[in-house]
Amino acid sequence: MVQELVVALVAAASVGVVYVAAAAKIVKQYERGVVLRLGRLRNDVRGPGFTMVLPGIERLHKVNMQIVTMPVPAQDGITRDNVTVRVDAVIYFKVVDAASAVVEVEDYQFAVSQMAQTSLRSIIGKSDLDDLLSNREKLNQGLELMIDSPAVGWGVQIDRVEIKDVSLPETMKRSMARQAEADRERRARVINADAELQASKKLAEAAKQMSSQPAALQLRLLQTVVAVAAEKNSTLVLPFPVELLRFLERAQQPVSTQQQAQLQAQPQRQQSQQQPQPEQQQSQSPQQQPPVMSAPAPAPTPPGPARVTRSKPLARH
């Protein structure tokens, strides 16, 4: 009898231990416990710590309240400007209503993942390639709003959504590389042109300043010679001084003027030498004409005057 009583007590204690072990639950700090009694949701959500449920009658569902980081699989799509891209993203979310996360959706993590994929494909189709590459902040905000709207009913709050990478086809990469190279070359040419313009203005001002100071030209020439000589070249070419050319031009100018004056004076001298000869001929011819006209008949002329008349025409020619 005593033995049977002991066995019964041991069995009862064992059952009690098993019952307590089944009823005792521990909820961690980052969790919340949702209790379903006979399949019906109870309004009290168990907080962190030790709690008890009725085994076989109540069931405790633990819900993680931490922020969950979920990578969104890469999605292929065509942008609004007809470019095929492959985009992947990452989503950060957390449960704010444990009861809704248990009752309203079967698996809230899977639901959020599927919603993120469909929203990402929709964003790709509504955006241009330039927006995907350079305006990601705006796209992230739009993607967050698209996912957060249905997730609120599941007791889930979307904390942040970020586009990680945008993959382009190889042909598009080469085209963009050529475009970027052409753009850089264009900007380099514009910068070089501006530099040449500024340099030409400064050179013009320097040339104007140096032209007013001849000594500055000589100093510049000496600086150039020193710079060239420092390179240890075997051949040194020196420019011909401009001042020497000007000196030679000034030296040649008087000589040419004097020669022109002499050339102009020679015809005048010849004319001055030839002008007195006709006067002498006229003065001598009246003395010879009366004897010739007064004679009734031609008479032999003396030899002396005949020589004079012959010599004068020769001198005249």
- What are the extents of the domains in the chain? 2-64, 68-168
Residue 107 token pair: 């698996």
Fold of 68-168: Tetrahydropterin Synthase; Chain A (3.30.479)
Structure letter (DSSP) for residue 128: -
Q: How far, rounded to the nearest angstrom, does the alpha carbon of residue 89 sit from its chain's CA centroid?
A: 31
Instruction: Give per-residue pLDDT as tens, 82-114.
Output: 888 899 999 999 999 998 898 888 889 999 999
- Could you tell me the sign of the dihedral formed by the alpha carbons of 308, 311, 313, 316, in that order? negative
Question: Is the model more confident about 170 or about 296?
Answer: 170
- Could you tell me the sign of the dihedral formed by the alpha carbons of 222, 227, 229, 233, in that order? negative
What are the φ and ψ backbone dihedral angles of 10, each rounded to 5 degrees?
-65, -40
Instruction: Give per-residue pLDDT as tens, 204-227.
Output: 888 787 777 777 767 777 777 777
Q: For residue 303, how many other CB atoms are within 10 A of its CB?
A: 7
Site of tokens 């009246």 = 286
Q: For residue 155, how many other CB atoms are within 10 A of its CB?
A: 20
pLDDT at 63 over 60: yes
Give the pLDDT confidence score for residue 116 in this predicted structure: 92
Arithmetic mean of pLDDT, 166-189: 85
CB 101 within 8 A of CB 66: no
Bridge partner residues of 77 (DSSP): 85
pLDDT at 77 over 70: yes
Give the pLDDT confidence score for residue 89 in this predicted structure: 92
Instruction: Give per-residue pLDDT as tens, 179-194.
Output: 888 988 899 999 999 9
How far apart are the C-alpha atoms of 109 and 70, rounded to whole Å?
9
Instruction: Give per-residue pLDDT as tens, 109-126.
Output: 999 999 999 999 999 988
Give the pLDDT confidence score for residue 258 in this predicted structure: 55
Arithmetic mean of pLDDT, 272-286: 49
